[in-house]
A and B are shown apart, each in its own frame.
Chain A
Amino acid sequence: MTEAEALPRRRGGWFFNNPFNNPVAIKELRGRMRGARAFIMLSVYLLLIVGFTLLLYVISTASQDVFGFSSGGQVGRALFTGIVGLQLLLVTFIAPALTASAISGERERQTYDLLRTTLLPAHKLAIGKLFSALSYLFLLLIAAIPLQSIAFLFGGVAEIEVLIAFVILSVTTIALGATGIYFSAAQNRTLAANITTYAMTLFITIGLPIATLILTLLFSSLLSAGGADTSAEVQIALLYGLVALAATNPLMAASLTQSWLINKQSAFFFYETVTSTTGVIQVPILSPWILFGAVYLLVALILVIRTVQRVRSIEE
């Protein structure tokens, strides 16, 4: 009997397999939602956002003069930005906590060998772990949408902003989840996996924004200082450099997207006028959140593939 006869394989690409047909995903979801832990975490998460929203509301309405909020729209925008910012911060801390122990935990619990001697393919193990962690993280994100929507009561926030914010949060969550899973597979110990995942997360959410902010300010000042004297090529390069820098991290992508949304009234694509000694050129610009989304999803995919390869590899 050949192996092909003995071992029928499921058809279809592994990436598109139904996650609910994945025993690891089902086990993890069942375990995660069992008991009070999942609900306590969700409640604490929402209470933190509620508390922060109330605080922002009280400050912005009682001290309008101090903060210069002259309209309800600005209050709404402040609330929305604050809530999304806090969600990003919370996801930054929760995503690694849910994923960095996913595979290293199996090794430490001495269940990894049991799994690896079953017929469970490596991709199902990795995807199942990631899927269950992301499911819970998305539950947190979706549960906070009504709180984000409070901003609509004050005006100043468009529906498209809420959608873009959700996309940026979702993509960040997926990328951080994939980072956690990758380090969890790459490290044998959960502690080491946690440290490397948090180090990478902090680099993405704090280090990169600071670095890119400095470069952005530099680019912007170069663009405005040079004005028409700067050559068109340099101006275009600086403009695209700005978009590329913003796409490296969620904070910059969100703030530049919002800024261009207000100033250029475009959430996707617009033309920027570049004036130089040679004339006026219309430069096509893609809103940074789109590039950010594409880059982070690509990185997440690469990390998942590397995770699968790591899980599939046999000890030498």
Chain B
Amino acid sequence: MPELAFESSGSALPAESAPVVDETDLIIETRGLVKRYGKLTAVNDLWLRVPRGAIYGFVGPNGAGKTSTMRILTTLMLPTAGQAYVAGYEVTKNPRAVRRAIGYMPDYFGVYEDMKVWEYLDFFAACYEIPESSRSQLINDLLDLVDLSHRRDDMVDKLSRGMKQRLCLARTLVHDPQVLILDEPASGLDPRARVEIRELMVELARMGKTIFFSSHILADVAEICTHIGIIEAGRMVMQGSLESIRRQLAPHREAVVTLLNRAEEAKSVLSGIQGVLAVAELPEEGGRKRLRIAFEGEDALLSAMVQALAAQGIPILHFSEQTQDLESVFMKVTKGIVS
């Protein structure tokens, strides 16, 4: 009997280590946030909801208002209207409390050329009022985390772009913040450095940090996010967990089965299963028969379909649920406009 292969294109986080997210416990929230620069409205009535423990991908085209939103959340900019809360604190009223709760990495940032790697972290630890006695161990731990222990005594300007990005990520962690706000953390990095940053973000989520990051790279977002928010022309066009968004966009679930032969027989078997809405034949691929199954139900129904086909001795080569990739979600909900 051919080997069965089940696939799911969900989060890359293994189920046992994926953060448990309470959708009602929000660590970042904006209510009708507006930011205007003269006549230009960069953020327009934005209602952002980031649950504690989530890896939240903030996605949108250039000029959509991502950076403006992040600058408001990080207390660097005042909103024109509306409120923004981070860790329960209103950003304009309690900026100091917000700064203690966040670790921020902007899209473009500089480093001090005349500092060593450990001095860089020591300086920022001092800026966060970490006592001098505990800084040395903290720096060692952070350098271990971002895999830069071997560059501890090197000058910062001698590091590669990817290493600087990792060092900056370590900097955001010196005061053990609850939430990391990362603006385009993977932009300008080579593929290897991108993967390293992505893995670090997953690791940090496992450590209990909420990660709120913006990105243009949808593959990165789809790979690691538990939640996404899609912003266009300053407005949130869709947000929620990846699964809920997929469900909203697709009224039913879909699976595709690849068979060695006996497609007609498989079609009638599948059509007889309760919950299966429709079965359609797809064009053959390399002589293999393919069927698309539209269904409504839980995962047990997928299992029942496989069992029913196997019970009839129908030779299955491949069986997988089709999930909408983030690019198709993005294309479906955005109109390609910027503010």
Contacts and interface: CB of A to CB of B under 8 A. Distances in A.
Do A and B assemble together? Answer: yes
B94 to A, nearest CB: 5
Interface stretch (A27-35, A70-78, A258-266): A27-35
A62 interface: no
A122 to B, nearest CB: 11
Interface residues of B, number: 34
A118 B75 CA distance: 10
A18 interface: no
B299 interface: no
Nearest to B124: A118
Contact of A111 (B74, B99, B111): B111
Contacts of A115: 127
Given A23-B123, A315-B76, A315-B78, A117 B112 contact: no
Most buried by A among B71, B77, B114, B168: B114
Given A26-B126, A110-B106, A118-B127, A31 B100 contact: no
A3 B110 contact: no
Given A116-B76, A117-B102, A314-B77, A6 B97 contact: yes
Interface in B83-127: 89, 92, 94-97, 99-100, 102, 104, 106, 108-112, 114-115, 119, 123-124, 126-127
A214 interface: no
B66 interface: no
A110 B175 CA distance: 21
A113 B76 contact: yes
Interface string A5-47: 0110000000000000001101100110011000000000000
Interface residues of A, number: 25
Interface of B: 71, 74-78, 89, 92, 94-97, 99-100, 102, 104, 106, 108-112, 114-115, 119, 123-124, 126-129, 168, 171, 175
28 contacts: A3-B94, A3-B97, A23-B123, A23-B127, A24-B127, A30-B119, A31-B114, A109-B110, A110-B110, A111-B111, A113-B76, A113-B104, A114-B106, A114-B168, A114-B171, A117-B75, A117-B102, A117-B104, A118-B127, A118-B128, A118-B175, A119-B127, A119-B129, A314-B75, A314-B76, A314-B92, A315-B77, A316-B78
